[in-house]
Chain A
Amino acid sequence: MDILQNLAFGFEHALSLQNLLFCAIGCVVGTMVGMLPGLGPMATISLLLPMTYSLPPVGSLIMLAGIYYGAQYGASVSAITMKIPHANSIVACIDGYEMTLKGKTGLAIFTAGVSSFIGGTVAIVVLAWLAPMLGEVALLFGPADYCALILFGFMCMSFVTTGSLLNGLAMCLVGILLGQIGTDVISGMERFTLNLVFLANGAGLVSVALGCFGIAEIAKNLDTRAERTPFNGKIHLMPTWPEFKRIIPSALRGSAVGSLLGILPGGGPVIAQFAAYAADKKMSKYRDEMGKGAIEGVAGQAAADEAAARTSFIPLMSIGIPENPVMALMMAAFIIKGIQPGPNMIAGHPDLFWGLVASMWIGNVFLLVLNVPLVRYWLSVFKISYNVLFPSILFFCCIGTYSVNNNVDEVFITAAFGLIGYMFLRLGLDAAPLMLGFILGPMLEEYFRRAMLISRGSFSVFIERPISGTLVALIALFILWQIVSFALKASRARRTAPRPG
């Protein structure tokens, strides 16, 4: 087998002492960065990029990649323990944090670790076998197809809502409206910016997510004065066998969803988590527990997120197109090393491509080995008294949001969203659908208007194009099915209800 040979060749490079070290550094730094509020892989990679100038190309790219996927795992940990999400771990705040409140943090973190490992492994198989072919998939998707895909994403809304559906819908719309702030991509006009320069780019995803989840949660803890005791002294780390069995199917579903969405430009890990959560809520045996601290809610997200982070390398390495800002930065790292990512890279720099692929799997093992024994130390976060913990979380939130664009204004935006988020929390409104609307709303608008510009205003593109046609048909079927099943349930309920009189 060619691919096995290539992988062996890759491992030969990745297993050199030097590259192992780079991989380890990347994973450790990534995990740390992921766990700190707001400080994402983006800021870290751009900070560390200058340091890689003097390093050999394979080593430095292995390290930067390690930071990226290490951060995906770390992000789950901070979402589970402190309800502080990164862009890609918003969903983990729902069930993961519920588990923490039930004193099952150890189990949740273990689940995240194992699921990340499964997700990463699946994605690496995809990457090694299919990268050259799959790159072209991104080219098949036109604006109309993305539009249909995003509409499909909106279907997830009803699944990430834990309370009333109507409230969820309202929050989703609020999110869409918040997403309208900033410069309109199509016309270049500024909307709802109140002539403030710092709003020209819109409210940042990091600011909104940190404000609505982490800061709101801290504020809530301050005003209840009740001592939160999620950590009850007994570390429930290793899952029981029935618990472990629940991780696997959910993680596999998440890996499939994540691998697929990771390849497509635009969304990647951010959308994958919502899709994985929705998939679990529809298909899992334990769907009734979702939203109340189910293992599936953590496993699916962690696997999807990790898988998407790795498959998002596919468009970069096979067709030379960065699909998100982190990949654009990785591309710059390649170019600074004098390597042009693209169709010729796999043939021209096999040591780099296969070394990187192999290192990703080594990193995967490394993250598992590193993190599972460390879970008990992450748990010690709860031993810190709140008057030290909360200010330090806020401190890191400030650094994190500042580092997104090196702009102090972002910190104020985050503070404002902290206030808004606290209000929502007090009113019992869900922030997850808001995030979904905030992420997908502007994307839907952008792709929809672009599709309309290209088709010169004809709606038939959505049906004529095979991809969007299929997706639109699926959406229609899904809605129909929901209505029918609702009607059936209602009529059954009427039949079984005791007759009056």
Chain B
Amino acid sequence: MNRRSFFRTCIPGLFLALGITSGIPSAWAQMDRPVTIVVPYAPGATSDLLGRLLSQQMGPLLKRTILVENKPGAGSTVGASQVAHAAPDGNTLLLATSTTLAINPWLYKKLPYDPAKDFTPIGLVASVPLVVIVHPSVKAQSIAELIALAKSSPEPLTYGSAGNGSPQHLAAAMFAAATGIELNHIPYKGSSPALTDLLGEQIKVMFIDIAPALQYIRSGKVRALAVTSSQRHATLPTVPTIAESKAPGTASFEAVAWQGLVAPAGTPAAMIEQYNKTLNAVLAQPDFRKRLESEGVEPNSSTVEHFGAFIKSETQRWSGIVKAANVTLD
């Protein structure tokens, strides 16, 4: 290529590229910047789905574009620390989970963010009860029978979880500690590979979010023994709670994961109020509620103050669970 044609083609290109990288964003900044909801999990996770549904519904109500940004990694700490250190201008929100706010402080000695100080709560979005499932070959029809089976079997029953320190793991470990049985923990990278191994009878038991397990419970490929919430779940009305089993040690058993929106600390209160109202308006839509319920997720709305108090009490509850389960990381 000769030099002239090089300049002729490339120089305008260069200017164009400069324009794209420098000029346009600054013009955007003066206009209405889109709101970003950071989802600290990989695309395809329950969190991701919730985030995308929320952005789809809240955007038109706020008359703003809401983007979902996946920042997966290290038990949601990567995404959480990014939002914790973002500008509190109301343009960056975090779809936090019980893991982000209530469990991680007890698992990690050093967190890159302070769950209590770095965030301002906006509102609860949903609670995600877990369900105890077993492979159909396991000879237990109820929680009481499962406990009896675990006590009588020569080798501890194996259970899978979405990872060390995941709510699934902690709930099962707390259950084992409370009922005095021994279970063999097999961690996986997320719920799906663990569920695959349960379907293939490589492992026997799982405490798992209802959403991914629902179709297998309905088709009889796995058997649901109980839910871990304090009340029965709408999608599984025939499945009792663990506390209903009346087995010793399970009287007040409750382990529910949840998801909520938070903003960086220092975000103006008026903005937080507006987000809370919009969020609750979305959560009140019957279609939206049905949508979440069909995913095994319980829509749950709250005021800003309520959510703040809820985070505090949950932090205490999970601290007890983490201690009972005797799990530490790093």
**Residues of A near any B CB (own CB < 8 A):** 42, 45-46, 49-50, 53, 138-143, 183, 185-190, 195, 197-198, 200-201, 265-266, 319-322, 325, 328-329, 331-332, 335-336, 338, 340, 342-344, 383-385, 388, 405-407, 446, 450, 453-454, 456
Contact = CB atoms under 8 A, between A and B. Distances in A.
B56 A53 contact: yes
Contacts of A188: 107, 163-165, 187, 327, 329
B112 A197 contact: yes
Contact of B202 (A197, A321, A336, A454): A454
A167 to B, nearest CB: 32
Contacts of A453: 158, 184-186
Interface in B299-330: 327, 329-330
B70 to A, nearest CB: 6
Q: Which of B44, B69, B81 has the most CB of A within 10 A?
A: B44
Contacts of B329: 188-190
Interface residues of B, number: 57
Given A332-B49, A336-B53, A454-B186, A46 B70 contact: yes
B16 interface: no
Contacts of B52: 49-50, 332, 336
A493 B185 CA distance: 56
Interface in B36-60: 42-45, 48-49, 52-53, 55-56
27 contacts: A50-B55, A50-B68, A139-B196, A183-B74, A186-B187, A190-B74, A197-B78, A200-B77, A200-B78, A201-B73, A201-B74, A201-B78, A319-B199, A321-B192, A321-B196, A325-B43, A325-B44, A329-B44, A332-B44, A336-B49, A338-B294, A340-B214, A384-B1, A385-B6, A388-B10, A406-B71, A453-B185
Contacts of A338: 291, 294
A335 to B, nearest CB: 6
Tell me whether chain B's interface is mostly helix, strand or loop, or mixed.
mixed
Contacts, number: 136
Given A142-B200, A197-B78, A340-B214, 12 more contacts: A50-B56, A139-B200, A143-B197, A183-B74, A185-B189, A190-B330, A321-B195, A325-B44, A328-B42, A335-B295, A406-B69, A454-B202
B43 A340 contact: no
A140 B200 contact: yes
A322 B55 contact: no
Contacts of B43: 42, 45-46, 49, 325, 328-329, 332
Interface of B: 1, 6, 10, 42-45, 48-49, 52-53, 55-56, 67-74, 77-78, 81, 107, 110, 112, 155, 158, 163-165, 184-189, 192-193, 195-197, 199-200, 202-203, 214-216, 219, 291, 294-295, 327, 329-330
A139 B186 contact: no
B78 A322 contact: no
